[in-house]
Structure 1
Amino acid sequence: MKLHIVILFILLFCTITSCSYENKYQDETSFTLKDFTEQQSLVGSPVNFDDIILRPNQIQIFDTLLITCNLGNERLFHIFNLKSKKKIGERISVGQGPDEMIQPYFIYNQKDIIIFDMITSIVSKYSIEEFVNNPDPKAFEKIKIEEQVMSEINLLGNEMIGSLYRPEHPLYLFDKNGKKTKGFGAYPISNITYSDVEIVEAYRSIFTTNQNDKVAVCHFWTDLIDIYSKEGNLLKRLHGPKHIFPHFKEYNNGNIVTAKAERGTHQDAFYSPVNVGEDFFVLYNGKSLEEPEYNILSKQIFVFGWDGTPKQVFSLDQGVSRIAVDSKNKKIYGISNDPEYHIIEFSYK
């Protein structure tokens, strides 16, 4: 009888004091905003071009050129001159013809303009001069990816890397001819268990590389960043600043199996990581999708070294959904749709 009372008391005490195993990611390094060595408040100003900004979902900077990608428009890429604020022209028609695209994504590179079309699985490479001066630019190289990559693609040394949204690996490597060579990385491990469908949805991510030997995987639904070596070895697993975990549940609807976030648990984390030399910049949101005034626009940018060291936090006076960085002139350009689509310029130190 006394033993039962003792056990009951322990259970009651644990309930009152939340006595449970703290959920952490395996191999994680926890961080908060206090771990960043510097914080800056940035005031943005709209970039007023001589033509309207449509509905861009991506942006890239090439010296004095700003190029937007506008899905759903007849011509997908619009080129602007940042000095003159004039529109240079529009490039690449929508379609499945030899010089057309359907759902393109920039592959970060400053030497050439490289674009991956997710629908046709073709990587097209253009010289900057050709892309800017020719209304119908011709690629100097095209590579067909042998599998349907369901994400953006980045360069990693002489290889390419992207996601197939499979439960075995978060990313996969492809050689210079587009042939899949191996799975890359591993999904995070915590106290939460997932089905194959749940783990793919819970750990959706966007990533960048230093184009040489490092990959930073930035997750959408958990404030987790995994930094990998070129060989796929985990170098640093950064968790913070809110220490969010994704809670997804599998649903069966006839022949369709999917996973959705459990109500009251869904929060935005990272968007738009950008390689900036020895560092990478990434937008941080931190909002709950169930907040009455939720939007995707983020007002913080975190700066990490490629070794995972927290360096800077930029607090923006205006939210943006995607960024590009001009490290030479210390400028950050972001896309905003508040109240209409426009480009915002921030200066940083």
Structure 2
Amino acid sequence: MEKIKLITILILVLNSCVQKKEREVIINENSKRVASFPKSNDYKFDKLLEFEGTPYKIFEVDSGLFVFDLKGWNNKIFHFYDFKSKDFKESFIGKGSGPYETFAPFSSGIKNQVLWVMDKSISKVVSYDLSNVNGGENRYEVKFNDYFNDIDIFNEDEFIGNGLLTSMNKFQRIDKLTGEIIQEFGSFTKISDDIPNELLRDYFQAKIAVKPDEKKLVTAYRWHESIEIFDLADFESILIQGPENIDNDFALTQGENGKFHLERGGDLQHTYTDLAVTDDFIYISFSGEHDKITDSFMANTILVYNWNGEPISKINLDRKIMSFSVSSDSKRIYSFDVDKGEIIYIDL
């Protein structure tokens, strides 16, 4: 009798292992694991100024800061803070659902004196040309045919998007004038047939950023302790994993209808929460908190890599942040204290 029980248990264990192996998704077979960071330093944020909205990204230019405000203070989502006068001077792009407005702003940036924002609900990008204020039309928008999780500017003519629900590829090159997809790239090494495309998008949700010189792209995964760096000339890539060795595969569960879904809450761990890049470095905020924690989407650690995927340093913060930005010279990090309503910074 005991022998029969033992055989039954072994069969169940083996079946479980086979099922797990069949459901395995391999992001990229060209990968390496980071064991530790050569430097780990503690930093304390200083207050820059109080702010009534909800800054998500802060873009530094020579004369001041462009604050990307999710809340839309005074019904505008970009506000320019002048270093010389120490005051806000002008605001750009309306908060709304009309032409040249954004109802649900998500991704944003400034490049070649053009402010841009992606509206995730309406699936469009609105742009404002700061260099053409007095020279005619300076507002532009393009609507997409599909919904993307995130986008960034690739070059003068294209966006790069990811998280497209109808595609098994990781990224799409998108025409900035028409919103049409030009090319797709970045395939998964292995995807199990029983994982539906919608679940694949949720489980591999990620932030993306293009290197300012437009030569490389980095993506940081929300539920995987992995970043992936692509060469935009030939689309060759490398996956960097670790050092915490977080494994969230247990959260892929099968319901009574036989379909798999991502089980939120419980011991599911948040990994990378935000991303910022310069020509020199990649900065990624890391949480590690379990999904059952109220503020698990916030982080008090920023990890720094170079563009070859080599770990540079670990930045330990004195408080948790929702998002952050880095100055183009890699000397200052900006963020927002949601409890105090303050734009804050640290000098590196």
* Distance change in 2, residues 1:190/1:325 (3 Å): same
5+ residue gaps, structure 2, are none
Question: Is the aligned partner of 1:150 residue 2:154?
Answer: no
3-state DSSP of counterpart to 1:296: coil
Structure 2 CA distance for partners of 1:210 and 1:24, relative to 1, 3 Å: same
Task: Report how far residue 114 of structure 1 moved.
Answer: 2.6
Q: Which residue of 2 aligns with 1:289?
A: 291
Q: Distance between the aligned counterparts of 1:282 and 1:81, measured in 2?
A: 27
SS at structure 1 position matched to 2:184: strand
Distance across 1 between alignment mates of 2:39 and 2:118: 36
Secondary structure at the counterpart of residue 198 of structure 2: helix
Structure 1 position 130, deviation (Å):
5.7
For residue 153 of structure 1, give the secondary structure of its aligned residue in structure 2: strand
Work out the number of aligned pairs and report it.
Answer: 325
Matching of residues 85-124 of structure 1 within 5 Å: 85-104=86-105, 105-109=107-111, 111-124=113-126
Q: Using the alignment, how far apart are the partners of 2:264 and 2:271 within structure 1? A: 16
Contact 1:197 1:250 (8 Å CA) reproduced: no
Moved more, 113-122 or 148-157: 113-122
* Aligned-residue offset at 1:347: 0.7
> Measured at CA, do residues 251 and 101 of structure 1 come closer, stay the same or move farther in structure 2, by a change above 3 Å?
farther
Alpha-carbon RMSD: 3.6
The 1:188/1:43 distance shift into structure 2, 3 A limit, reads farther
1:162, CA displacement in angstroms?
A: 0.9
Paired residue for 2:346? Answer: 346
Gap runs ≥5 in structure 1: none
Q: Distance in 2 between matches of 1:146 and 1:190?
A: 27
Alignment of 1:311-322 (within 5 A): 311-322=312-323
Structure 2 counterpart SS, 1:244: coil
1:144 alignment partner, SS class: strand
Alpha carbons of 1:63 and 1:269: their partners in 2 closer, same or farther (altered >3 Å)? farther
Aligned-pair identity (%): 18
Contact 1:161 1:171 in 2 (8 A): yes
Distance 1:112 1:252 in 2: 50
TM-score normalised to the size of structure 1?
Answer: 0.79
1: CA distance between counterparts of 2:169 and 2:270?
22
Q: Which amino acid aligns with 1:31?
A: V
Q: In the alignment, what sits opposite 1:165?
A: 165
- Does the 8 Å CA contact 1:57/1:69 hold for their aligned counterparts? yes
Change (3 A) 1:229 1:301: same
SS of structure 1 residue aligned to 2:150: coil
Shift of 1:193: 6.5
State the secondary structure of the residue aligned to 2:202: helix
Alignment of 1:241-320 (within 5 A): 241-246=243-248, 247-249=251-253, 259-261=261-263, 264-291=266-293, 294-320=295-321
CA distance in 2, matches of 1:63, 1:299: 28
1:28 alignment partner in structure 2? 31
CA offsets 1:82-102 (integer angstroms, 9 cap, x no match): 454312233322233333222
Question: In the alignment, which residue of structure 2 is the partner of 1:229?
Answer: 231
Letter in 2 for 1:112: V
Deviation at 1:129, TM superposition (A): 5.2
Letter in 1 for 2:327: D
- In structure 2, give the amino acid aligned to 1:261: E
The one-letter code matched in structure 1 to 2:49 is: N
Q: Which residue in the other structure is 2:242 paired with?
A: 240
The one-letter code matched in structure 1 to 2:270 is D
Tell me the equivalent position of 1:206.
Answer: 207
CA distance in structure 1 between the aligned counterparts of 2:112 and 2:315, rounded to whole angstroms: 24
| Deviation per residue, 1:233-257 (Å, 9 max, x gap) | 342101112222333346699xxx9
**Deviation per CA, 1:97-118, whole angstroms, max 9, x where unpaired?**
3332222331352543233333
**Counterpart secondary structure, 1:266:** coil
**8 Å Cα contact 1:197-1:258 kept in structure 2:** no
2:55 matched residue in structure 1: 56
